[in-house]
């Protein structure tokens, strides 16, 4: 059990400019009492890992609608690990084809939340995963 604030980085890697979903998730996490570091559009995996390190976040949410998730997500996970942040939980929003979901979950992504997901779903998943990682 952790009693401190959960800190989450929300980032949009890659080149698509649709950040509506990322902002909705950021706002929902804020309303759930979390501290959300919002980094904005067109982040490279290197920028995301660096921000996650400096901000010492508990979780990273990536919003990807460009189809580049199979390249970007493994790279972010790899960089987090290289920085000693393997306990940081990573979740995904955007458009991910069904056949990629098991592969991403296998890599360690805690959840993939497409359009229509209720905010309570990912809020609860993040809380549980962060508490389990801190235990």
What are the structure tokens assigned to 108, written together? 């360690």
In the complex, the smallest distance separating the C-beta of residue 99 from another protein, rounded to whole angstroms, is: 33
The residue within the footprint of another protein, chosen from 22, 34, 126, 130 (CB under 8 A), is: 34
Q: Does 53 bind another protein (CB under 8 A)?
A: yes
Q: What value does the CA radius of gyration of the chain take, rounded to a whole number of Å? A: 13
Per-residue x/- marks for another protein, 61-100, CB under 8 A?
A: ----------------------xxx---------------
Q: Decide: 29 and 36 in contact? Cβ < 8 Å.
A: yes
Closer to another protein by CB, 63 or 96: give it: 63
Q: Which residues pair with 43 in a beta bridge?
A: 13
Residues 134 and 14: their CA atoms lie apart, in Å, by 30
Give Cα separations from 35 to 14, 20, 30, 67, 114 (angstroms): 24, 19, 6, 28, 22
Q: Which residues pair with 93 in a beta bridge?
A: 63, 113
Residue span binding another protein (CB under 8 A) among the ranges 24-32, 59-67, 90-98, 104-112: 24-32
In the complex, the smallest distance separating the C-beta of residue 93 from another protein, rounded to whole angstroms, is: 16
> Which residues of the shown chain bind another protein in the complex (CB under 8 A)?
4-5, 7, 26-27, 29-40, 43-44, 46-47, 50-51, 53-56, 83-85
């Amino acid at each position: 059990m952790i009693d401190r604030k959960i800190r989450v980085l929300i980032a949009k890697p890659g080149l698509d400019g649709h950040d509506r979903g990322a902002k909705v998730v950021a706002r929902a996490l804020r309303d759930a009492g979390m501290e959300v570091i919002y980094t904005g559009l067109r982040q490279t995996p290197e920028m995301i890992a660096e921000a996650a390190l400096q901000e010492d976040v508990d979780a990273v949410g990536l919003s990807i609608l460009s189809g580049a998730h199979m390249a970007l997500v493994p790279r972010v996970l790899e960089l987090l690990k290289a920085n000693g942040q393997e306990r940081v939980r990573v979740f995904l929003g955007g458009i991910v084809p069904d056949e990629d979901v098991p592969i991403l979950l296998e890599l360690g992504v805690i959840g993939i939340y497409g359009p229509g997901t209720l905010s309570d779903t990912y809020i609860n998943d993040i809380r549980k995963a962060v508490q389990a990682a801190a235990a």
